[in-house]
Amino acid sequence: MITTGQISLSHTLMVRLSSLTTFHGSTKTILPRPFKDIRFHDLRHTAASLMLMEGEELKTVSQILGHSTIAITADIYIHIVEAQKRTALNRLEKYMTSN
């Protein structure tokens, strides 16, 4: 369940992004030139990727994105999760070999 704080933050972010959104033909774009080709969906995907790369839990990112299950988020962002596993294993190996 998403907490009130997360919903509030999400809503605030959405309102701010919506105020920057314009329509160019049938494609929704954000920000003026030279950023006119950035779609809201692309920004959402980038934000999710960055949250995961910064170590945010998959479940939290899934809730923020509004996915109905964590499996949806995992399927879409599995490449980032796999990279985090490799990084964690490398840290463990470094720790074990240095002591």
For the chain, where are the E strands, in sequence order?
A: 21-24, 27-30
Which domain covers residue 83, as residue numbers?
A: 4-98
What pLDDT, on a 0 to 100 scale, did the predictor assign at position 46? 86
What's the domain count of the chain? 1
Of the two residues 40 and 66, the one the predictor is more confident about is 66
pLDDT in tens, 26-48: 445 555 666 666 777 788 888 89
What pLDDT, on a 0 to 100 scale, did the predictor assign at position 5? 46
Q: What is the mean pLDDT of residues 78-99?
A: 87
Residue 34 main-chain phi, psi, to 5 deg = -85, 15
Mean per-residue pLDDT over the chain, rounded: 74
What pLDDT, on a 0 to 100 scale, did the predictor assign at position 54? 87
